[in-house]
A and B are shown apart, each in its own frame.
Chain A
Amino acid sequence: MLIEKLNARFGPDILAAESARGEETIVVSRDRAMEILGALHSEPDFAFNFLSDLTAVDWPERTPRFEVIYHLRSLTKGHCLRVKVGVDGTDPWAHSVAGIWKAADWLERECFDMFGIRFEGHPDLRRILMYDSFQGYPLRKDYPYQRRQPIVEEVDPITHPRRPSR
């Protein structure tokens, strides 16, 4: 039912829609993602005011390689939706939704940290769980889980002050 409403509202912008195991999923293109997510947040028909989760999945054999996945929930209407945005593997980036849901601030930082997907327009995109000098993106499928990292060199905090926060 939600999918019919979405189809009526966004039409060809929805590249694919699926309803499986009681969950509804739509796939949208990266170019239109911002507009659609903004509309899903603010239009009273949808009112997805709660961003449950934002993450990515790496599919090295597919094009586009990454899927950025938004789990939305409306606390007023009580419905849920999964939105997928395909992101190309050579220069992975997506639009930041931190301006729509503040929760996206940290979730996008984590996604960047783990997958190396840049979120354009994010106010302060830097690693969050890993340290700054960590090499590579651990949740990509081509990152072996046993890889060793170089030892972090000791720095004098006075001569090399830490990067100031925003």
Chain B
Amino acid sequence: MALPARWSQKLEASDPADEVMELQMGPSHPASHGTIKFNLKVDGERIADCDVEVGYLHRGFEKMCEQGTWTQCFPYTDRLNYASSCINNAGFAIAVERLLEVEAPERCQHIRVIMSEIARIADHLTCLGMAAGELGAQSVMFYMLEAREMLYDLIEVATGARLTVTWCRVGGVSRDLPADFGQRLKTAFTHLDAILLDCDKLLTRNRVFIDRMAGIGMMSAEDAISYGLSGPLLRAAGVAYDVRKASPYLVYDRFEFEVPTGERGDNYDRFEVRMREMYEARKIAEQAMAQIPDGPIALEDHRITLPPKDRVYNSIEGLMNHFKLIMEGIKVPAGEVYQAVEGANGELGFYVVSDGSGRPYRVRVRPPCFLGMGALGQMLKGHMIADIIATFGMINMIGGECDR
């Protein structure tokens, strides 16, 4: 086989002192947990410019949602931020319910809050655990994964799946919490506390960890707002914007919780905000569990939710009802709604447009980490190549959500 011609080309000599080298990092770099490419211009080890390339995991989420019925979108939403799919499920369900101008029953809303907060803790554990692991704190990573396993077990008993739950429906949720869920929650949270305490001891005042995180990837509050950052990234910069407080949905306005903020907007603040948010999420889940009322878990309006199985199998009306809902979908009146929920990474917005048929006309997701990635190039300028890993880890880019 002939060698490529360029191998025999002579390289021109240049002065290494003022040379800016182009370096492509990714798309499958072992230290970046996600398929993403950084087109770097480096001056030695310093980053002069960073162009971030995303889109490697694009599956056409928005296009595919237009092909099926409203209910058939739920499996797609699971695969947005797959570390906290309960939140995505709930967000999409609320958006469609607002289009229908209905509200899910109280018990269902409490269940959604509990599951969203469990998912949020699981997401933060993934983010921090992986980021710590990438910086060399392997034991923290395994501790956090252990804690996350317990939360996934909770999600599993409540929804039947660990990751891709597809558990919300328009107008309700698909199954009630098991009878012993309160007890399970308590046990899991007790273990979680112990693990978080260990991780806190291992990281928060760890010299190496602080040196890698503090002062890196800084972004001022003004810039962060302009770049559309939200969630822990924005709160680390000192802006106390949380969708659960700013425009409450579900029953979040009934619970007491704080919105932790940072001061400098660097990676260390992002770490700390996430760490403190886990305790707040825990508080919300416990309050919701204590206040959860009895009652139905889904609307009993059979233009929206499926009739019970015994009616489907034993009566012609039930069968027809079921058939129409499955084949034609829920008839959502024409209109549009933008529903934002506080995802684990920030403002997760669903902009849904209906033309009155049984299918979505347009489903748009505002992915929080997409905007975070948009600001990454700016955050990295002037830092070292090794700082990419820490900063990227703190943005918590989830390919499924960023690229959709």
Contacts and interface: CB of A to CB of B under 8 A. Distances in A.
A86 B336 CA distance: 16
Interface in A108-145: 110, 114, 127-131, 138-139, 143, 145
A106 B55 CA distance: 12
A1 B118 CA distance: 38
Contacts of B55: 127-131
Interface of A: 20-23, 25, 49-53, 55, 57-58, 69, 71, 73, 75, 78, 80, 82, 101-103, 105-107, 110, 114, 127-131, 138-139, 143, 145, 156, 158-159, 162, 165-166
Given A156-B6, A166-B51, A57 B353 contact: yes
B226 A130 contact: no
A105 B374 contact: yes
A103 B362 contact: no
B185 interface: no
Contacts of B58: 129-130
A75 B259 CA distance: 14
Interface residues of B, number: 47
A65 B140 CA distance: 53
B76 to A, nearest CB: 13
Interface string B324-338: 000000000001111
Interface of B: 4, 6, 9, 39, 49, 51, 54-55, 58, 60, 62-64, 66-67, 98-99, 101, 223, 225-228, 239, 241, 246-247, 335-338, 340, 347, 349, 351, 353, 361-362, 364, 366, 370-371, 373-375, 403-404
Given A21-B335, A52-B366, A158-B6, A75 B98 contact: no
Given A103-B371, A103-B374, A53 B338 contact: yes
B101 A53 contact: no
A140 B314 CA distance: 44
A146 to B, nearest CB: 9
B251 to A, nearest CB: 17
B102 to A, nearest CB: 12
